[in-house]
Structure 1
């Protein structure tokens, strides 16, 4: 190390040198012997200066969160850590890995704080938000009880929350509000380093923009350093100064944000940039990591550029218009007229009705055979309620739904049971929608048994194997349990299960929102291939307009239970008619480093 580099390392708030983290292998845990698996973090080195934001990017399993847990001192006791981590604390530079647990507790919370990926599980459901914030202040500061109460109010105002919410429980807040509470707890003791682990995952684009703007403002006011962890490079462009791209525990690219977006050197980085749907183009298929020849040992850039990939699969305006005209020349498969779903709002000891929540409030639209109709809007706008009302999982208050000419909402039970096989649902969370006590083969064959598809078990088994092949899974894995698959594989299993009953219409409810961008691209391509092969019709529900635009022939924008506007996908993006739609489009991360100081207002 040169004298200049050594001086820079000494001055850095955080210096990581050759960090290597190993966890016991499965056989070691089962037998009690000492045996280590492949490193989950392998030779990671970087420096983070005070007031700087470093983006740590990669897919699930790349080592991002393990790096964060190492820096927080929260790794399991059996983990083996090698290398050096130096932190510039109040008493000078300390070797973080050499500190004992008691010494680390003096830094954790007061000097180094973390926003966890899932705030709803990071907060205790048994305590109010105020109690949890005051507990954090009590543990990390020497303030009096009165000063703690005043400081809690001040912190809530700083993260743009009403102090009245201090007395509410986490389940009484929206996703964006819960994330703000988590941020308030993290910054309560004015830490020098804030680690944000996927702080905007599964949030609406508008709420996501608000959280990014909030973090940028807090950093500017407090001169904090931020380690921002995400799987989405376009988010990093909005906030970070430097970027580290991780792949299988290693840093495969490390440079400024501008350099990474202008000239990505590693094929994995190129793939991550290309996998994200782009709003400026209409693509037939999304490029995937495999298109960029990502290999563990490869160091040279891939042979196919992002621009070349896009040009190969771009859809022209004439092709888009011709397809839409062909679809709309048919009789609609689904006709919805003035559909309403209202909920009674009850309060008090006797649960008297004091109002009414109009989740779906007079919606009308047509859906044509073979079409994908995108439904986009913020959380709470009524998207999921509409989907479940159409499936008759929720009772409609009024309105008419015609499915292939049948009065869907008034079908007798016997006729409804026969037609249910034709309308299926793919849920947002594949973990929650698969029974953990059943093999994935049993889950896929269950709809066949319910709808009497296949003469016997052997025939259903053979069909399940064919479905697994169709969605890109190994038929030999039918006997495995859901927890033995990755997130992307579990979502493919859910797609296979939806196809098992030979449906005509599939409602995709946030089916890709929790997936890595690379896995998301594979699943979206799969859904398009299946539509072309089987003639499927989709109602595609999402809060992500870029994903909806890629998938959809037409887009329907929903707000507060009503349809704001509906039209061809490209037209909605290029010429939005409503202010609400314009705000949704403005809040989408564009992957432009120049926007870092111009995050859009969404209120």
Structure 2
């Protein structure tokens, strides 16, 4: 940073690790007994190194991070092992020493920036707090540095943003502020706990670029925690894979991605959807759940779910042993140095071909939705948010149509318009040949069973006071699909079996399920009334990659078995490629490109689609970094909405391009379709 040299850059780097963890044990004391959340974890991070810690929810990743910073509170306790930072014993530090160390020499960026930021303190004050409290600068100089930090993190108009409150920022902007706070004193160690979970692929790529830049420019040692090996592969040189509180594999990231030596790492690698995978191909997933933390298996903790297990795995707990030079794995199968076989998944039964020649099942024509904000006073008119601005879209029988784009582009609003949870401001919506644009609630009641929706957050969409059985029986009884509660309970058992859940789960409440299980319940509820169309709004965006693979495979199977049509909304293009026949790309409330998923995602024609596909976290993928933010939805630009960020914008873009067909089945809203293509990029390119 200009005028600020990090203390660890002024001195020769000592020949000791920045962070050294040996046999760390963290336990949660409960009434039923101790839960070993972190059970014998060891690793080192040297100066300028990047280490990724990967695993599904409950594997112990976040507890490990909190243990490193000594941020745990009762009933959690560190009961064994050592944590050493630049030769100093962290576990022996006093409270005042910890206060001096945290935020200065070591910092942490948390997963949820909204809970990590104080909602009543302005952004600049929060960024400069650690700079002043650690005596690095006087308040006036700290304010200048704080604004420069925000600029460096990619916050647009940092002088204006500095006076804002957290709720005025998007999720991506709040995460940038958290990054600015974390690096304010240029720490020698930065721990980032799931910093990109549920963010758009473009924002995710920008955050990862920031982490890479800190590591390369200042030699900051980084520990990046994630459930996505693709994210880890773009930033980290080494990776530690965790399962049930243990490190089960540790090696150079590229080696793990190419040839994982532990079955759990093998499953994580193969569960990630890729753009080069064929559409509709099933993903590798591991059924079942992690072991009971109060009563772990006697042998290998992964043995109950392992497809490669041998007899020894059930009785003998494997140590973390060297299975190849520089590689360690906790597995008896690969202990002799052998590799695991490539996945050989049986392909899903071929779905019936979508009936594109027939009339659409669900169609929107020039649909619009504007929200008028409350007037600031009686003398001033209210502001209008232009959420959806003239969208034409059609879903056919037995088709999966993906809708993708950044947050705020209008995807979720479009979903609510098509399901008539919102009434359109303009245009028309037709379902099964019937105009439902302004249908009354009574008229929609008869259509609701055939037009269902799966929401992004299953926990928020399920009543916490109702058992799963009651939640699934409610629509059956309300629509008169069953004669009595006994018949409803029988149908509930069928639905739970259909989505791969035990029938005994009907008596449980939502909080007793994992995220993936709750999403299966939401899918079961959507299927209860035998719909013809299911609108799925970001159904897998916040799930672990293994659970994501399970849910996607389930939805593919249900499509084939029940002949469903899906409108699938997502910001992850690789997920859309794995699931959808066609895709529509939205930007600022409009569709800018539409066509077969294979064509659009492998050969994009609109510059915005090029940027989206380049942002997918796959090692070696060339990146197009878009500058700036999307225009405000309060005042739409007159011409092309993307022109302010477009790398090939020209005077002709002052007029808005129509969504025109440029090839059979391909539509693009661009004056120069295909002029900016991935094959023209030879390096990381920042545009506008």
- Would the TM-score normalized by the shorter structure come out above 0.5? yes
Q: 1:51 aligns with which of 37, 41, 48?
A: 48
Match of 2:674 in 1: none
More helix by share: 1
Q: 2:182 aligns with which of 178, 186, 190?
A: 186
Matched, 1:110 2:143: no
Q: 1:174 aligns with which of 164, 170, 176?
A: 170
Q: CA deviation at 1:541?
A: 0.1
* Cα distance in 2, alignment partners of residues 538 and 277 from structure 1: 19
* Cα distance in 2, alignment partners of residues 190 and 547 from structure 1: 36
Match of 1:21 in 2: 26
Q: 2:34 aligns with which of 36, 40, 65?
A: 36
Q: How does 1:155-554 map to 2 (within 5 A)?
A: 155-161=149-155, 162-282=158-278, 283-289=280-286, 293=307, 298-301=331-334, 307-309=342-344, 313=347, 324=353, 326-344=354-372, 348-350=376-378, 352-353=380-381, 355-554=383-582
331-340 vs 505-514, which moves further = 331-340
Cα 1:510/1:594, change in 2 over 3 Å: closer
Q: CA deviation at 1:135?
A: 2.8
Q: How does 1:113-124 map to 2 (within 5 A)?
A: 113-124=107-118
Secondary structure of 2:381's counterpart equals: strand
1:238-261 C-alpha deviation (Å, 9 max, x unpaired): 111111111111111111122212
Match of 1:3 in 2: none
1:380-409 C-alpha deviation (Å, 9 max, x unpaired): 111001001112222211111110011111
1:535-567 C-alpha deviation (Å, 9 max, x unpaired): 111100000000011110111111111111111
Cα 1:253/1:391, change in 2 over 3 Å: same
Cα 1:262/1:9, change in 2 over 3 Å: farther
User: Contact between 2:136 and 2:185, CA under 8 Å: does it hold in 1?
Assistant: no
Q: CA deviation at 1:84?
A: 0.8
Q: CA deviation at 1:86?
A: 0.6
| Structure 2: unaligned runs, 5 residues or longer | 1-12, 288-304, 318-330, 625-681
1:1-32 C-alpha deviation (Å, 9 max, x unpaired): xxxxxxx99611110011111111342xxxxx
* Cα distance in 2, alignment partners of residues 537 and 128 from structure 1: 46
Cα 1:412/1:582, change in 2 over 3 Å: same
* Cα distance in 1, alignment partners of residues 560 and 685 from structure 2: 37
Structure 2 length-normalised TM: 0.80
What CA RMSD, in Å, does the superposition of the two structures yield over aligned residues?
A: 2.5
Structure with more contact order per residue of length (Cα contacts < 8 Å, sep ≥ 6): 1
* Cα distance in 2, alignment partners of residues 600 and 481 from structure 1: 49
* Cα distance in 1, alignment partners of residues 153 and 63 from structure 2: 27
Secondary structure of 2:126's counterpart equals: helix
Secondary structure of 2:43's counterpart equals: strand
Q: 2:77 aligns with which of 76, 80, 93?
A: 80
* Cα distance in 1, alignment partners of residues 573 and 463 from structure 2: 31
Instruction: Tell me how many residue pairs correspond in the alignment.
Output: 577
Match of 2:676 in 1: none
1:345-395 C-alpha deviation (Å, 9 max, x unpaired): 566434833653321111112211111101011111110010011122222
Cα 1:393/1:487, change in 2 over 3 Å: same
* Cα distance in 2, alignment partners of residues 11 and 549 from structure 1: 45
* Cα distance in 1, alignment partners of residues 687 and 563 from structure 2: 38
Q: CA deviation at 1:335?
A: 1.8
Q: CA deviation at 1:108?
A: 1.0
Match of 2:654 in 1: none
1:462-518 C-alpha deviation (Å, 9 max, x unpaired): 211111111111111211111111111111111111112222111100000000000
Match of 2:299 in 1: none
